[in-house]
Structure 1
């Protein structure tokens, strides 16, 4: 098995056993990026190769002295282009930020660097992270790992494609409205949205209200996802709502007893969610793998009007997104350089009152309490990760599903809001392909702070899904 084919946990072991050098690892990944990336545009702001090799040599020298920085020692890593990286442009996919070079790393990057990774560049994202299609006016569009004519999803599309095409051993993403889960599903990799507060974000404009978005891990194996989560997670006093339970994610994932585990299959929410043909069926194939393990999969009812949840969600989203866009609009000349969807979010929030926001927060609280009642009947919940298959890369977003018009640019992603709005851990697991060879994922949703149990279930599932996971992207240039 070549270096770039190794799972991240195996790569770490090989580096620490000195079976392969950090220089060899860096050279192998840079060669792969050189061959594959021009077709897919997943990695951006790639750093100078000689500089990166010198950093790899420094990691090798540390190992020669018996020193290891941690699990990621010597691993090449590209950071999603929404997170600050010292000395490397952090553009947010916006022309307004094209030349912004942070002086300090974001907290997640600090933790990953402290674990030994070498930052080689950034992964492409949608402008301001909005919309589940990775394109922007700075770097262009990221193309799906399995079909370059199709969207990679987003906003962590660059991360997912880089993983699928073996340009990175493991990747970070972030998730607000499926921004990590959707591209994971569309590129046949795993992506975990951790529990709210599990991975604290800093710097942040607001540390009290802006809790719908979170950073998190992505990988080609569940073990890799768990190991990266262990690096990213942990309380930080600058993020007062971050989780301080001391949980670790480096234990053995195997041995989870699936017999009798109750999984509630929410499907399309009794017809509320418009779904393209084939999505429910391929997800049910994935659920059948869990049944083979002994899980009890049962149809489940949401039990609360989805439209009521959606309306409360819109209020929260508009308030939080508008606050991010507002500073850029202090200069009226910037308006022409901001994408229409971001401007729409800002305009929709202009007349939003505090009373309306608090009313939506009351509704969100009621929804969370209702989700707790569902977990009295089920140990986990399941939903498709997307309502459409990867769409045409030249399309901004799906305007229709099965002839039904989407009333916002993100209504077609409604299936992702339930885990987010309740602050629950949720992992996207690959389940299969359609007749065109396009991938799809399934969301498995865990109980509050149940990240470890969710990872154990996903690991058990992974062992039954090798025929899906071992199906490589068919792009010939990716495998030279």
Structure 2
């Protein structure tokens, strides 16, 4: 019966609807799997009481179906509020900060029938692509427990890989849905910015870098969750209605044309074998009838970086200034968080304006490329999953990293503009660790990115490779 956890989320949903398995049985399988592997992986945190969850599962069995997620066990990223559960952001002082209400995205998943079993682990404040914090500890990679699961949606991706959940939410500022997807051999979609609304609180006009989004073990599951999460919120100034993507997921992709940006002409250093693994996977596009062309660097990478780190620090300081202003809270912030906040506080209005001007110029240039290409491609990461004891890589391919996040630079051409981007599994390196490819397009082209991803998924067996943690589970 544990083989049922290998099924994709939509297949689990169909089996529940057909009465082939009960919600209670699925919950038991899920909690048994968590008991078996989570002690090593440390992906699910703040897990609710087993008896309480089984009672909720029995109630779901007796109730009319609410939606396609009815009865599916879900663990929510520990940056989002779930009523009755702690929202800690990985900060020990917030260990008992119990949410009084669901966030918009969580409320939408609950309305579709999801059962929330706990949270998934994150780096402190979601900063850095390695999910460790002083409250819950470090999330390890199910494919190799000695290395990182990535972040900031590292707990979500590792839980998916270890089959503790079949679908997961995440968020992405600097690759947080994409980097852990690549390192855990799953799919992570950064949607078009404002497609999935965040909470209508604080400043709502200026910051356009971070977004919520879905993760899963197949693009069709990603599409189904995106449809649940999507839709405007009238209390917010940005956002618009989008057509559902699930009905479009199987559209043909032959005849499309994509541009391969490789390592941006050497601007993004890559660890050994990473580019070779990525380029070997590109042959799959030929099999799908998609033409791949190598594209020269379309914009100055140094300008993109300069724009990014200013706008990111500005955004982080705006959202985390309350924690920083409290001496007690500040004492619990990691050095990287303090560096980011203080850097943002030091920026002038002119600094921010100049950074956004560069962003605007890059937006204009990339849209010229999209007049030629249906999508553009980049590796999802510049490094393989690194030793879980490390805070972050200080050097990549012989090049010193000058910030705690410079090793993730390959994701920022997308993040800076709020473009839709799907990270797809790209196979495994000689070290046995997973790699990923970013497939991104113009704003609003989420469905096309998912169509390419689904065709890729059906043409490959990368995502079917089970992690080593499951060999004895």
**TM above 0.5, one fold?**
yes
For the pair 1:82 / 2:79, whether they are aligned, the reply is: yes
CA drift of 1:257 comes to: 3.1
CA offsets, 1:60-97, max 9 Å, x none?
A: 101xxxx2100100000000000011110010011121
CA contact (8 A) 1:12 1:71 kept: yes
Q: Deviations over 1:377-413 (max 9, x none)?
A: 2110000000000000000000001221001100000
**Contact 1:445 1:454 (8 Å CA) reproduced:** yes
Structure 2, unpaired ranges of 5+: none
SS at match of 2:163: coil
Equivalent position to 2:433, from 418, 426, 438: 438
Q: Deviations over 1:422-464 (max 9, x none)?
A: 1110000001111221101000002220001111111111111
Deviation for aligned residue 1:341: 0.2
Residue correspondence of structure 1 range 13-52 to structure 2 within 5 A: 13-52=14-53
C-alpha change, 1:277 and 1:324, in structure 2 (3 Å) is: same
1:310 equivalent in alignment to 2:305: yes
Q: Does 2:349 align with 1:354?
A: yes
Separation in 1, partners of 2:248, 2:445: 16
Determine if the alignment matches structure 1 residue 390 to structure 2 residue 385: yes
Q: Output the CA distance in 1 between the equivalents of 2:99 and 2:122.
A: 17
- Indicate if the aligned counterparts of 1:192 and 1:427 stay in contact, CA closer than 8 A: yes
Question: Secondary structure of the equivalent of 1:440?
Answer: strand
Contact 2:270-2:382 within 8 A present in 1 as well: yes
TM-score (norm 1): 0.96
Task: Say how many residue pairs are matched.
Answer: 472
For 1:377, what is the secondary structure of its paired residue?
Answer: coil
Correspondence for 1:198 among 195, 199, 206:
195
1:371, 1:422 within 8 Å by CA — same for their partners in 2?
A: no
Of residues 330, 339, 342, the one that matches 1:335 is: 330
**1:205: how far off?**
2.6
Q: Which residue of 1 aligns with 2:115?
A: 118
Task: Measure the CA separation in 2 of the matches of 1:419 and 1:244.
Answer: 21
- Give the superposition deviation at 1:210: 2.2
Residue aligning to 1:422: 417
1:92 aligned to 2:65?
Answer: no
Q: CA deviation at 1:164?
A: 0.4
Q: Identify the residue that residue 410 of structure 1 maps to in structure 2.
A: 405
Helix, strand or coil at the partner of 2:321: helix
SS of equivalent residue, structure 2 residue 370: helix
Preserved contact between residue 258 and residue 457 of structure 1 (Cα < 8 Å): no
Q: Which residue of 2 aligns with 1:141?
A: 138
- Name the structure 1 match of 2:98: 101
C-alpha distance in 1, partners of 2:165/2:450? 21
Q: Offset of 1:203 from its aligned partner?
A: 4.5
Name the CA distance, whole Å, in 2 between partners of 1:78 and 1:302.
39
Let me know the Cα RMSD of the aligned residues: 1.1
For residues 395 and 257 of structure 1, the distance between their equivalents in structure 2, rounded to whole angstroms, comes to: 41
Mean CA deviation greater in 449-458 or 320-329: 320-329
1:221 equivalent to 2:218? Answer: yes
Superposed CA deviations along residues 99-142 of structure 1, whole A, max 9, x for unmatched, are 10010011000000000000000000010000000000010000
Residue 130 of structure 1 is matched in structure 2 by 127
Contact 1:182 1:385 in 2 (8 A): yes
Partner of 1:469: 463
Q: Does 1:280 align with 2:281?
A: no
> Which residues of structure 1 form unaligned runs of 5+?
none
Alpha-carbon distance in 2 for matches of 1:336, 1:155: 21
Q: Partner of 2:351: helix, strand, or coil?
A: helix
What is the TM-score of this pair, normalised by structure 2?
0.98
Secondary structure of residue in 2 paired with 1:475: helix
Contact 1:202 1:238 in 2 (8 A): no
Deviation at 1:36, TM superposition (A): 0.6
SS of 1:122's partner is strand
Structure 1 residues 25-66: Cα deviation after superposition (integer angstroms, max 9, x where no partner) = 10110000000100010000000111111111111101xxxx
Aligned-pair distance for 1:146? 0.3
**8 A contact 1:152–1:390 mirrored in 2:** yes
* Structure 1 residues 5 and 232: alpha-carbon distance in aligned structure 2, compared to 1, 3 A threshold: same
Q: Is the 8 A contact 1:154 1:180 kept in 2?
A: yes
Contact 2:248 2:447 (8 Å CA) reproduced? no
